[in-house]
Amino acid sequence: MSYETALAQMYALGHELAQTPSHKFDLAHIRVLLAALGHPENRFPTVLIAGTNGKGSTAATLASILQASGLKTGLYTSPHLVRINERIRLDGKAIDDDDFALLHDVVDRTAERLAGEGDLPWHPSFFEMLTAMGLEYFARCRPDMVVLEVGMGGRLDATNVVEPRLSIITDIALDHQKYLGETVAEIAREKAGIIRPGGVVVTLPQLPEANDVIGNTILDVGARAVNAVPYVPPLSPGSGEYLSGQWPESGRRGQRYPLEVRGETILVESPLVGRHQLRNVALAIAAAEELHNQGMVQITPETIARGIRETQWPGRFQVVPPSGGNP
Protein backbone atom coordinates (compact mmCIF):
# COMPACT_ATOMS: atom_id res chain seq x y z
CA MET A 1 0.00 0.00 0.00
CA SER A 2 1.32 3.45 -0.88
CA TYR A 3 1.46 6.36 1.54
CA GLU A 4 -1.05 8.28 -0.58
CA THR A 5 -3.50 5.37 -0.46
CA ALA A 6 -3.08 5.06 3.29
CA LEU A 7 -3.81 8.76 3.74
CA ALA A 8 -6.87 8.61 1.51
CA GLN A 9 -8.27 5.66 3.43
CA MET A 10 -7.61 7.33 6.77
CA TYR A 11 -9.33 10.57 5.81
CA ALA A 12 -12.22 8.65 4.26
CA LEU A 13 -13.06 7.54 7.80
CA GLY A 14 -13.99 11.15 8.58
CA HIS A 15 -13.19 13.25 11.62
CA GLU A 16 -13.86 11.44 14.88
CA LEU A 17 -16.01 14.27 16.25
CA ALA A 18 -18.36 13.90 13.30
CA GLN A 19 -19.25 10.42 14.45
CA THR A 20 -21.81 9.56 17.06
CA PRO A 21 -20.65 9.50 20.69
CA SER A 22 -21.32 5.73 20.82
CA HIS A 23 -18.80 5.21 18.02
CA LYS A 24 -16.19 7.41 19.67
CA PHE A 25 -16.55 6.52 23.31
CA ASP A 26 -16.04 2.79 23.71
CA LEU A 27 -12.68 1.43 24.81
CA ALA A 28 -13.88 -2.13 24.28
CA HIS A 29 -13.48 -1.83 20.52
CA ILE A 30 -9.90 -0.55 20.46
CA ARG A 31 -9.01 -3.18 23.05
CA VAL A 32 -10.26 -5.86 20.67
CA LEU A 33 -8.15 -4.34 17.89
CA LEU A 34 -5.04 -4.09 20.06
CA ALA A 35 -5.48 -7.66 21.30
CA ALA A 36 -5.49 -8.87 17.70
CA LEU A 37 -2.26 -6.92 17.15
CA GLY A 38 -0.61 -8.63 20.12
CA HIS A 39 -1.16 -5.86 22.67
CA PRO A 40 1.46 -3.33 21.52
CA GLU A 41 0.31 -0.95 24.27
CA ASN A 42 1.87 -3.21 26.89
CA ARG A 43 5.35 -3.33 25.39
CA PHE A 44 6.73 0.05 26.52
CA PRO A 45 6.29 2.42 29.50
CA THR A 46 4.09 5.47 29.11
CA VAL A 47 3.06 8.83 30.52
CA LEU A 48 -0.55 9.83 29.75
CA ILE A 49 -1.62 13.48 29.64
CA ALA A 50 -5.18 14.85 29.70
CA GLY A 51 -6.61 18.34 30.11
CA THR A 52 -8.30 21.13 28.22
CA ASN A 53 -5.41 23.55 27.81
CA GLY A 54 -1.70 22.87 27.60
CA LYS A 55 -1.57 19.10 27.29
CA GLY A 56 0.27 19.24 23.95
CA SER A 57 2.82 21.75 25.24
CA THR A 58 3.33 19.70 28.39
CA ALA A 59 3.78 16.54 26.34
CA ALA A 60 6.29 18.14 23.99
CA THR A 61 8.29 19.62 26.88
CA LEU A 62 8.39 16.37 28.86
CA ALA A 63 9.38 14.37 25.77
CA SER A 64 12.20 16.84 25.10
CA ILE A 65 13.43 16.51 28.69
CA LEU A 66 13.43 12.72 28.43
CA GLN A 67 15.26 12.84 25.12
CA ALA A 68 17.84 15.28 26.52
CA SER A 69 18.36 12.79 29.36
CA GLY A 70 19.42 10.12 26.86
CA LEU A 71 16.16 8.20 26.63
CA LYS A 72 14.76 6.90 23.37
CA THR A 73 11.46 8.79 23.53
CA GLY A 74 8.17 8.42 21.72
CA LEU A 75 5.59 11.19 21.47
CA TYR A 76 1.96 10.85 20.35
CA THR A 77 -0.03 14.08 19.95
CA SER A 78 -2.97 15.56 18.09
CA PRO A 79 -3.95 17.35 15.97
CA HIS A 80 -1.18 17.86 13.40
CA LEU A 81 -0.25 21.19 11.82
CA VAL A 82 0.87 20.20 8.32
CA ARG A 83 1.22 16.43 7.97
CA ILE A 84 -0.49 13.60 9.82
CA ASN A 85 2.93 11.99 10.43
CA GLU A 86 3.66 14.71 13.01
CA ARG A 87 1.35 12.95 15.47
CA ILE A 88 3.68 9.94 15.85
CA ARG A 89 7.27 10.86 16.73
CA LEU A 90 10.37 9.08 17.93
CA ASP A 91 13.20 11.22 19.33
CA GLY A 92 11.59 14.26 17.76
CA LYS A 93 11.37 12.79 14.26
CA ALA A 94 7.98 12.14 12.70
CA ILE A 95 7.21 8.64 11.44
CA ASP A 96 8.30 8.35 7.81
CA ASP A 97 5.89 7.77 4.96
CA ASP A 98 6.86 4.15 4.33
CA ASP A 99 6.39 3.16 7.99
CA PHE A 100 3.08 5.02 8.12
CA ALA A 101 1.81 3.18 5.04
CA LEU A 102 3.02 -0.20 6.33
CA LEU A 103 1.42 0.25 9.74
CA HIS A 104 -1.82 1.48 8.22
CA ASP A 105 -1.96 -1.65 6.09
CA VAL A 106 -1.32 -3.90 9.10
CA VAL A 107 -3.90 -2.19 11.33
CA ASP A 108 -6.50 -1.74 8.59
CA ARG A 109 -6.33 -5.39 7.49
CA THR A 110 -6.68 -6.47 11.11
CA ALA A 111 -9.66 -4.16 11.62
CA GLU A 112 -11.37 -5.37 8.44
CA ARG A 113 -10.94 -8.99 9.51
CA LEU A 114 -12.33 -8.31 12.99
CA ALA A 115 -15.31 -6.45 11.56
CA GLY A 116 -15.92 -9.20 9.02
CA GLU A 117 -15.85 -11.88 11.71
CA GLY A 118 -18.17 -9.91 13.96
CA ASP A 119 -15.60 -9.19 16.66
CA LEU A 120 -16.00 -5.46 15.91
CA PRO A 121 -19.40 -3.92 15.11
CA TRP A 122 -17.89 -1.45 12.66
CA HIS A 123 -14.54 -0.26 11.35
CA PRO A 124 -12.51 1.69 13.92
CA SER A 125 -12.62 5.49 13.77
CA PHE A 126 -9.89 7.76 12.42
CA PHE A 127 -8.51 8.37 15.91
CA GLU A 128 -8.73 4.74 16.97
CA MET A 129 -6.88 3.70 13.82
CA LEU A 130 -4.18 6.31 14.30
CA THR A 131 -3.78 5.44 17.98
CA ALA A 132 -3.41 1.74 17.17
CA MET A 133 -0.87 2.60 14.48
CA GLY A 134 1.11 4.76 16.90
CA LEU A 135 1.13 2.10 19.60
CA GLU A 136 2.22 -0.55 17.10
CA TYR A 137 4.98 1.74 15.82
CA PHE A 138 6.33 2.35 19.30
CA ALA A 139 6.14 -1.36 20.15
CA ARG A 140 8.32 -2.11 17.13
CA CYS A 141 10.80 0.70 17.91
CA ARG A 142 11.20 -0.24 21.59
CA PRO A 143 11.47 3.25 23.14
CA ASP A 144 12.47 3.80 26.75
CA MET A 145 9.38 5.95 27.34
CA VAL A 146 6.39 7.18 25.34
CA VAL A 147 4.48 10.36 26.15
CA LEU A 148 0.84 10.15 25.03
CA GLU A 149 -1.50 13.11 24.70
CA VAL A 150 -5.19 12.28 25.12
CA GLY A 151 -7.24 13.17 22.07
CA MET A 152 -10.46 14.22 23.81
CA GLY A 153 -11.68 13.72 27.35
CA GLY A 154 -9.74 10.92 28.96
CA ARG A 155 -11.86 8.19 30.52
CA LEU A 156 -12.98 6.72 27.19
CA ASP A 157 -10.33 8.15 24.89
CA ALA A 158 -8.49 5.58 22.77
CA THR A 159 -5.16 6.45 24.43
CA ASN A 160 -6.52 5.37 27.81
CA VAL A 161 -5.87 1.71 27.02
CA VAL A 162 -2.30 2.04 28.33
CA GLU A 163 -1.26 1.56 31.95
CA PRO A 164 0.81 4.71 32.48
CA ARG A 165 3.68 5.01 34.92
CA LEU A 166 2.14 8.34 35.77
CA SER A 167 -0.71 10.55 34.59
CA ILE A 168 -0.70 14.32 34.12
CA ILE A 169 -3.77 16.55 34.20
CA THR A 170 -3.33 20.05 32.80
CA ASP A 171 -5.73 22.98 33.18
CA ILE A 172 -9.40 22.08 32.67
CA ALA A 173 -12.09 24.35 31.23
CA LEU A 174 -15.21 23.97 29.10
CA ASP A 175 -14.44 22.02 25.94
CA HIS A 176 -16.23 19.53 23.67
CA GLN A 177 -19.35 19.94 25.80
CA LYS A 178 -21.44 17.90 23.36
CA TYR A 179 -19.35 14.87 24.28
CA LEU A 180 -17.87 15.56 27.73
CA GLY A 181 -20.53 17.41 29.70
CA GLU A 182 -21.96 20.87 30.23
CA THR A 183 -20.01 21.88 33.34
CA VAL A 184 -16.35 22.05 34.35
CA ALA A 185 -17.03 19.37 36.96
CA GLU A 186 -18.51 16.97 34.41
CA ILE A 187 -15.63 17.56 32.03
CA ALA A 188 -13.11 17.12 34.85
CA ARG A 189 -14.61 13.69 35.61
CA GLU A 190 -13.85 12.59 32.07
CA LYS A 191 -10.29 13.94 32.27
CA ALA A 192 -9.74 12.34 35.68
CA GLY A 193 -10.52 8.98 34.10
CA ILE A 194 -6.82 8.63 33.28
CA ILE A 195 -5.95 8.39 36.99
CA ARG A 196 -5.14 4.78 37.90
CA PRO A 197 -5.91 2.97 41.15
CA GLY A 198 -2.76 3.19 43.23
CA GLY A 199 -1.14 5.27 40.50
CA VAL A 200 0.49 8.68 40.40
CA VAL A 201 -1.01 11.89 38.99
CA VAL A 202 0.84 15.16 38.45
CA THR A 203 -1.28 18.30 38.46
CA LEU A 204 -1.61 21.92 39.60
CA PRO A 205 -4.35 23.75 41.53
CA GLN A 206 -6.91 25.18 39.11
CA LEU A 207 -10.65 25.95 38.97
CA PRO A 208 -12.33 24.86 42.24
CA GLU A 209 -14.83 22.63 40.40
CA ALA A 210 -11.99 20.78 38.69
CA ASN A 211 -9.93 20.62 41.89
CA ASP A 212 -12.80 18.95 43.75
CA VAL A 213 -13.27 16.28 41.09
CA ILE A 214 -9.56 15.55 40.71
CA GLY A 215 -9.03 15.45 44.49
CA ASN A 216 -11.99 13.16 45.10
CA THR A 217 -10.92 10.84 42.28
CA ILE A 218 -7.43 10.57 43.76
CA LEU A 219 -8.93 9.66 47.14
CA ASP A 220 -11.45 7.23 45.66
CA VAL A 221 -8.89 5.19 43.73
CA GLY A 222 -6.05 5.48 46.23
CA ALA A 223 -3.74 7.33 43.87
CA ARG A 224 -0.89 9.63 44.88
CA ALA A 225 -0.85 13.29 43.84
CA VAL A 226 2.30 15.17 42.84
CA ASN A 227 1.88 18.94 43.02
CA ALA A 228 3.85 20.86 40.38
CA VAL A 229 3.58 24.17 42.29
CA PRO A 230 7.26 24.09 43.42
CA TYR A 231 8.28 24.40 39.76
CA VAL A 232 6.18 27.50 39.02
CA PRO A 233 8.13 30.78 39.59
CA PRO A 234 6.90 32.26 42.90
CA LEU A 235 4.71 35.35 43.10
CA SER A 236 5.43 38.34 45.30
CA PRO A 237 3.10 38.15 48.34
CA GLY A 238 -0.23 39.76 47.50
CA SER A 239 1.03 41.43 44.33
CA GLY A 240 0.07 38.99 41.61
CA GLU A 241 3.46 39.68 40.05
CA TYR A 242 6.37 37.32 39.69
CA LEU A 243 9.31 37.98 41.98
CA SER A 244 12.06 40.22 40.71
CA GLY A 245 14.95 38.04 39.66
CA GLN A 246 12.64 35.08 39.17
CA TRP A 247 11.39 36.48 35.88
CA PRO A 248 14.24 38.27 34.11
CA GLU A 249 12.65 37.93 30.68
CA SER A 250 9.29 37.07 29.14
CA GLY A 251 8.34 37.93 25.60
CA ARG A 252 7.89 36.77 22.08
CA ARG A 253 10.95 34.54 22.32
CA GLY A 254 9.53 32.63 25.27
CA GLN A 255 10.34 32.55 28.98
CA ARG A 256 13.64 32.78 30.83
CA TYR A 257 13.96 32.52 34.61
CA PRO A 258 15.99 30.76 37.33
CA LEU A 259 14.42 27.81 39.14
CA GLU A 260 15.56 25.50 41.89
CA VAL A 261 15.43 21.82 40.98
CA ARG A 262 16.73 19.22 43.42
CA GLY A 263 18.65 21.88 45.36
CA GLU A 264 20.35 23.20 42.23
CA THR A 265 19.49 26.43 40.44
CA ILE A 266 18.92 25.99 36.73
CA LEU A 267 18.09 28.57 34.09
CA VAL A 268 14.78 27.75 32.47
CA GLU A 269 14.72 28.98 28.88
CA SER A 270 11.48 27.88 27.29
CA PRO A 271 10.85 28.76 23.64
CA LEU A 272 7.10 28.49 24.23
CA VAL A 273 5.48 31.93 24.20
CA GLY A 274 2.90 33.03 26.78
CA ARG A 275 2.97 33.13 30.54
CA HIS A 276 0.43 30.31 30.64
CA GLN A 277 3.25 28.07 29.45
CA LEU A 278 4.91 28.34 32.87
CA ARG A 279 2.27 26.00 34.24
CA ASN A 280 2.86 23.53 31.44
CA VAL A 281 6.63 23.64 31.93
CA ALA A 282 6.13 23.12 35.67
CA LEU A 283 4.01 20.03 35.02
CA ALA A 284 6.67 18.63 32.70
CA ILE A 285 9.43 19.22 35.28
CA ALA A 286 7.38 17.64 38.07
CA ALA A 287 6.64 14.61 35.89
CA ALA A 288 10.32 14.22 34.96
CA GLU A 289 11.31 14.44 38.62
CA GLU A 290 8.70 11.84 39.56
CA LEU A 291 9.98 9.43 36.90
CA HIS A 292 13.51 9.99 38.21
CA ASN A 293 12.40 9.39 41.80
CA GLN A 294 10.66 6.17 40.75
CA GLY A 295 14.06 4.97 39.52
CA MET A 296 12.73 4.54 35.99
CA VAL A 297 15.04 7.06 34.37
CA GLN A 298 18.11 9.08 35.23
CA ILE A 299 17.33 12.77 34.86
CA THR A 300 19.50 15.61 36.10
CA PRO A 301 18.73 19.31 36.61
CA GLU A 302 21.01 20.01 33.66
CA THR A 303 19.12 17.70 31.31
CA ILE A 304 15.84 19.22 32.50
CA ALA A 305 17.14 22.68 31.57
CA ARG A 306 18.45 21.44 28.22
CA GLY A 307 15.25 19.58 27.40
CA ILE A 308 13.13 22.65 28.08
CA ARG A 309 15.45 24.81 25.99
CA GLU A 310 15.32 22.37 23.07
CA THR A 311 11.54 21.87 23.09
CA GLN A 312 9.98 22.13 19.64
CA TRP A 313 6.24 22.77 19.52
CA PRO A 314 5.56 25.03 16.53
CA GLY A 315 2.40 26.95 15.76
CA ARG A 316 1.55 27.97 19.34
CA PHE A 317 2.00 31.76 19.42
CA GLN A 318 5.08 31.10 17.30
CA VAL A 319 6.83 34.21 16.03
CA VAL A 320 7.81 33.78 12.39
CA PRO A 321 10.51 36.20 11.20
CA PRO A 322 10.04 38.06 7.94
CA SER A 323 11.86 36.54 4.99
CA GLY A 324 15.55 37.34 5.20
CA GLY A 325 15.31 39.17 8.51
CA ASN A 326 15.06 38.81 12.28
CA PRO A 327 11.82 38.93 14.24
Between CA 40 and CA 44 the distance in angstroms is 8
Between CA 303 and CA 264 the distance in angstroms is 12
Task: Name the DSSP class of 44.
Answer: S
Are 213 and 179 in contact by the 8 Å Cβ rule? The answer is no
CA distances from 184 to 190, 191, 209, 210, 227 (A): 10, 10, 6, 6, 20
Rg of the chain over Cα atoms, rounded to whole angstroms, equals 20
pLDDT in tens, the chain (327 residues): 899 999 999 999 976 444 444 444 679 999 999 999 999 999 999 999 999 989 999 999 999 999 999 999 999 999 999 999 999 999 999 999 999 999 999 999 999 999 999 999 999 999 999 999 999 999 999 999 999 999 988 899 999 999 999 999 999 987 766 767 779 999 999 999 999 999 999 999 999 999 999 999 999 999 999 999 999 986 544 434 444 344 435 555 678 899 999 999 999 999 998 887 899 999 999 999 999 999 878 999 999 999 999 999 887 666 666 765 555
Return the number of other C-beta atoms located less than 10 Å from residue 259's C-beta.
23
Between CA 232 and CA 278 the distance in angstroms is 6
**Chain segment 161-220, per-residue pLDDT in tens:** 999 999 999 999 877 667 677 799 999 999 999 999 999 999 999 999 999 999 999 999
Domains of the chain: 44-95+144-309 (3.40.1190.10)
Nearest to 204 by CA among 45, 58, 66, 75: 58
Burial call 170-182: b when 16+ CB within 10 Å, e when fewer: bbbeebeeebbbe
Nearest to 175 by CA among 50, 39, 5: 50
- Longest Cα–Cα distance of the chain, Å, equals 66
The secondary structure of 223-292 as a DSSP string is: -EEEE-GGGSPPBPTTT-SBPTTT-SEEETTEEEEEEEETTEEEEEEE---STTHHHHHHHHHHHHHHHH
Burial call 116-143: b when 16+ CB within 10 Å, e when fewer: eeeebeebbbbbbbbbbbbbbbbbeeeb
Q: What is the reported pLDDT for 242?
A: 45
